[in-house]
């Protein structure tokens, strides 16, 4: 089975997209992000997919993107934060090197506050993130082969830890 070197999972704001790119650079391998794959397929941003077609349609596209990337991509792969909600996706992650980037509520809130484009967090991001973190933590833990804490640490520090962790 062709497989990604490493798959990053975790909540919005954990830094999957940021650390994933740095880790791919460190290894000199390609980076792929299932959110970007979904946007490329749809020809529009995730925020517009949610508005035009709704979250269930986004989730179906995401599941197809996860399956394709796990089968094809040999570099570093970042998933969207909600990809672990689908049992099909969790099953597909078995046998892969999956890193859970954990983040606490306060760091997640301040990080997502820096960016746009997460439609689930448009309304009351703090309360929504609190719910998402509680709901998903067991799912991230279930699929992870490794866990790395990101609170109060720079993306470069996290990347350096990942390079060490994945050496073995
Ligand atoms: N360790 C970190 N410390 C501070 N800011 C971070 C860290 N990791 C990511 N960020 C910032 O937080 C925001 C969300 O990061 P992103 O990589 O998109 O997270 P995710 O893909 O997990 O939702 C971005 O603005 C990014 O620059
Ligand atoms: O947590 C979620 O359900 C989502 C997270 C987003 O990705 P990030 O985790 O990269 O922000 C993106 O897939 C979409 O907005 C839904
Ligand atoms: Mg991301």
Q: Is the dihedral of CA 12, 54, 33, 89 positive or negative?
A: positive
Has residue 161 got a pLDDT over 90? yes
Owner of token pair 């798959």: 7
For the record, the structure tokens of 139 come out as 């799912």
For the beta carbon of residue 60, count every other beta carbon within 10 angstroms.
13
pLDDT over threshold 70, residue 114: no
Predicted pLDDT of residue 113: 83
Question: 34 with 64: CB under 8 angstroms?
Answer: no
Residue 102: strand pairing partners: 149
At a CB cut-off of 8 Å and minimum separation 6, what does 57 contact? 49
CB-neighbour burial class of residue 47 (10 A; exposed 0-12, middle 13-18, buried 19+): middle
pLDDT at 122: 86
**Region of poorest pLDDT, from 33-47, 84-98, 103-117:** 103-117
pLDDT, mean of residues 139-150: 98
Packing angle of the helix pair 105-112, 125-143 (nearest 10 deg) = 120
pLDDT tens profile 38-88 = 999 999 999 999 999 999 999 999 999 999 999 999 999 999 999 999 999
Ligand 2 first shell, C-beta below 6 A: 12, 16-17, 35, 46, 80-82, 118-120
Write the residue with the smallest CA distance to atom 7 of ligand 2: 80
pLDDT (mean) for 143-152: 98
Helix (H, G, I), strand (E, B) or coil at 135: helix
- In this structure, which topology does domain 6-165 adopt according to CATH? Rossmann fold (3.40.50)
ipTM (interface predicted TM): 0.99
């Amino acid at each position: 089975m062709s497989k990604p070197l490493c798959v990053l999972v975790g909540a919005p704001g954990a830094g999957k997209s940021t650390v994933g790119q740095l880790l791919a650079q460190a290894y000199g391998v390609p980076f792929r992000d299932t959110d970007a794959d979904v946007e490329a397929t749809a020809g529009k941003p995730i925020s517009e997919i949610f508005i035009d077609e709704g979250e269930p349609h986004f989730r179906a596209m995401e599941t197809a993107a996860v399956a394709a990337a796990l089968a094809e991509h040999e570099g570093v792969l970042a998933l969207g934060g909600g990809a672990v909600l689908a049992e099909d996706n969790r099953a597909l992650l078995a046998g892969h090197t999956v890193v859970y980037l954990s983040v606490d509520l306060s760091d997640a809130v301040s990080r997502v506050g820096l960016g746009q484009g997460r439609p689930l967090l448009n309304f009351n991001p703090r309360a929504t993130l609190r719910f998402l973190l509680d709901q998903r933590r067991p799912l991230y833990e279930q699929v992870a082969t490794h866990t790395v804490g990101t609170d109060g640490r720079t993306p470069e520090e996290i990347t350096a830890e990942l390079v060490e962790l994945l050496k073995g």
